[in-house]
Amino acid sequence: MTNSTARAVIDLDVTGPVIDRHLYGHFAEHLGRCIYGGFYVGEDSPIPNEGGIRLDVVAALRALNIPNLRWPGGCFADEYHWRDGIGPKADRPVMVNTHWGNVEENNHFGTHEFMALCELLGAEPYVNGNVGSGTVQEMSEWVEYLTRDGDSPAVRQRKANGRDEAWRVPFWGIGNEAWGCGGNMRAEAYADEARRFATFCRDHGDNKLYKIAAGASDDDLAWTETLMKAVACLGCKKDPKKFFQGISFHYYTVPGTWQHKGSATEFGADDYYRTMIKAADIDRVIKGHSAVMDAYDPGRTIGLVCDEWGTWWDVEPGTNPGFLFQQNTQRDALVAGLHFDIFHRHAARLKMANIAQTVNVLQAMILTDDDGSLVLTPTYHVFEMNKGHQDAASLAVHLIDTPAAISVDDAALTPVSASASTKDGTVLISVTNLSLDSATKIDFDLRGLAVRSPRGRLLTSDQPQTHNSPASPGAVSPVEFEVRLTDGTLTAELPPHSFATIEVDLDSEPRGK
């Protein structure tokens, strides 16, 4: 193992945009075992539950301060008809999930169950409506059913189903991936549909919808520009939020091809570095979408939303290919750490992000089995270690000296990534050493304010392929590690392929630069 050094400067008295807590959002689709067998086990299950909702999953996610949960999809959203999922469970019709495994679902997890889940989690609901196979009336009445008080046919139906009070639903998706599974539309055609559907998604009472238009895949900037023109060209320049308040995009870390994505647990050094290079490229993608949006919305009143992100590998051998179940290693954790550093730097425009997905699917937080076992993944621990960034003021991290870039396939990767924020008298620094074989000593020169009481937490493993399992649930888990503070300089020594967080308390006395 070799050693390298790095140095960074942080001006503690110069704060940037607030890091919206909704950048730490989650995603739960009717896909594989995310809902059934993940969040929801049914009221008759021997696994402790409330109304069928699995309580150990709830407790684990509450520990992350989960800010929002997106549901019911994903591609599933555009074949979901919400009235099939309300009323007595025995009367709910069976549906076929044509997108994910062609399985039959009994609709026992529907609107009331999702809203109960959000209440248990303390998370704000993000409901994704059906544009692809639904109607304007259907979506409008779903909003009314959820959020209206008083009297109307939808309100009476909700009350008959056991809920007198309206719920608060802040986030509403106007379809999903309209360029693909959500309808295979052209951008111009979807823009017209988005305006039409959004018009009839009303604000009822004091519930104000943050309506999110289904945006681009990866770096399709033309799609984003079409949506921005769809707002600007209707005389809305004084109020560009009239139709929707956010525009989404999706970005998956797939270093291989869509046909051969690679194994979640069996990979070599080049595969590892290709993954990190692909993950880091989301910075370029966000910059591109932001530049397009700035041209039409210089005041940044419309938010950019990355409501699907994460690693996507080939499914685990022997599992249903339509269930997208993959293991979650230290490599996945480092992808998450790298993403959050980038998200923090774009906090002025990026207002929400949702990991795909929360339980048992893709880059999951939690893996469950029907026997009652529950495993927290390495990615879960990054979310937990980073939760102090939520709603904190960002601090720019100026990397002055870094180890030499690592090159694979004519692309280069800076092996050290970091971000920082401050809130309630505490500074939180996140730092990732992406090198596979080099430990890195990094000095953070903290300027402008005096600090005290340094403490550090480290997430690493012997190999980047290491993952947690029911037999070894703590193989990758955070531990305390030493951080030195000398005359305003924090020094930390990071082992290879590691993620760390460092906290210090602010003193009231300023420190000269």
DSSP code string of 319-363: S-TTS-----BHHHHHHHHHHHHHHHHTTTTEEEEEES-SBSSSS
Token couple for 489? 């300089």
**Adjacent-strand bridge partners of 129:** 174
Cβ atoms within 10 Å of 180's Cβ, excluding its own: 15
**Adjacent-strand bridge partners of 250:** 217, 308
Instruction: Give the DSSP H/E element, type plus range, for residue 136.
Output: helix 136-147
Give the distance from CA 406 to its chain's centroid.
27
Annotated catalytic residue 79? no
Cβ atoms within 10 Å of 214's Cβ, excluding its own: 33
Annotated catalytic residue 193? no
Contact 465, 267 (CB under 8 A): yes
Task: Compute the distance between CA of residue 306 and CA of residue 226 in angstroms, rounded to an integer.
Answer: 18
Q: Which of 144, 308, 384, 493 is catalytic?
A: 308
Q: Would you put residue 252 in left (φ > 0), alpha (ψ -120 to 50) or beta?
A: beta
Q: Which of 124, 177, 193, 493 is catalytic?
A: 177
Helices (H), 165-316: 187-199, 221-232, 269-280, 282-296
Q: Which of 206, 220, 125 shows the shortest CA–CA distance to 173? A: 125
Active site residues: 177, 308
